[in-house]
Structure 1
């Protein structure tokens, strides 16, 4: 019975030693085995998932993230080469690639964030400050983000981390400049609209003047041609009449009298006071054209 407590104590010590002799690294982590503050075992850290051993009470284990971590840069005011200030909101993604160097440089993830944010801001100022604001706001933004990532990556190698990606979430003008910019844009658009209206009015007046000139020319030409045709028709008619009159003067006189009767007696409200023995009605008198007129008797 005296041996039972001794066995229980020995068993507890064995369990304690066994538990403190192993450590587990899962797929989301990487670990460093330390002995009196110095890295021992795998000099690049334990990065493969599995079960590993250590000396209890003498050695301990520090874990670090093996996943991609976020870095929020916040709003940063930059000045491109055209002196048009912009407010940039950027973020980055990073991961620990060398846990030994990372421990020596910044100790843990929380302490690394301020240094990484300063590196990110410096890279943003360096790259975006070397181009114009129009370039930043154009389709070339993806190339600029790649340059920012590469610049920040080169500056974080000594920290044992790698900048995986950098993105510009938002690029705007400072709030105090927005109103002035909007007013300037509005004035420019109004000036362009006024220029367009003036050019349109000028073109309209030119088109209307040309149309009026063409209309006058066409009407004048038509009148000229109509007068020529009318004169030629009158000449042809007079020629026909002259030829007809020359062939039979009596018939021509009779035909002209009939046309005169038709024109003079047209309508129902016309009153004509004339002597029946006048020259006008000579073809109604006995004898017709040979009858003497009233003035001849």
Structure 2
């Protein structure tokens, strides 16, 4: 669905010095996405339809986008949530990632890029899931820090029964700094390498209860944010701009779990997110 937005979406991206390659930067600017993270709660009826929902803050949306979200959310259908063999009404925290692309005529094409439905209200103890033990932040890459570059790395890690990281890889690296194709590729490598070095030293607390407690390993997704001193993360309800990672990385050892988990774009910017099937399985496409 397409909307004409009467305001500039997002914040201005920091730009790297490029000299004679300014044309390359102009071309790369076409990859920039303006994005808004919308948070709220959703209530799912026993038949999987949406019984009710509430958004936390709609001031950044405007009437057209509110109407778009209302029509889309009420059309969603979920796998019924079953408790003790009976389909029940279930409530969950919800996050929706909206993405806007500028059009040649000055308008904006808006779509839902990702959704996330939290699990903290399902009554299961925290010990049912892998949790962080010691997760030391990575060292900010020196060159990226000198340039004032910022970004977020999504890591996928396999955790053994001793809580140590058995295997870890980069799922994607989104940037909040604009440069040439070569500059941004270098920044993605620097952020990815720094995150991997740190992640290999991390330890976790394996599940001790629940149906997955007996497994020999667990898969988790961990966002790693690189943010310059004095800067802050955008909050739900605030438009921002970023450059999504154009690389499609295939992680064979986690492929099936990643397919079920979906995009990480609607996740909070920090935390440990198990790649386990959620109770809240959206059956139809998020919307566009």
The two structures have a TM-score, normalised by structure 2, of 0.22
TM-score, L = length of structure 1: 0.21
More strand by share: 2
Q: Which has the higher contact order (CA 8 A, sep 6+)?
A: 2
Who wins on radius of gyration, i.e. which is larger?
Answer: 1
Q: Which has the higher helix share?
A: 1
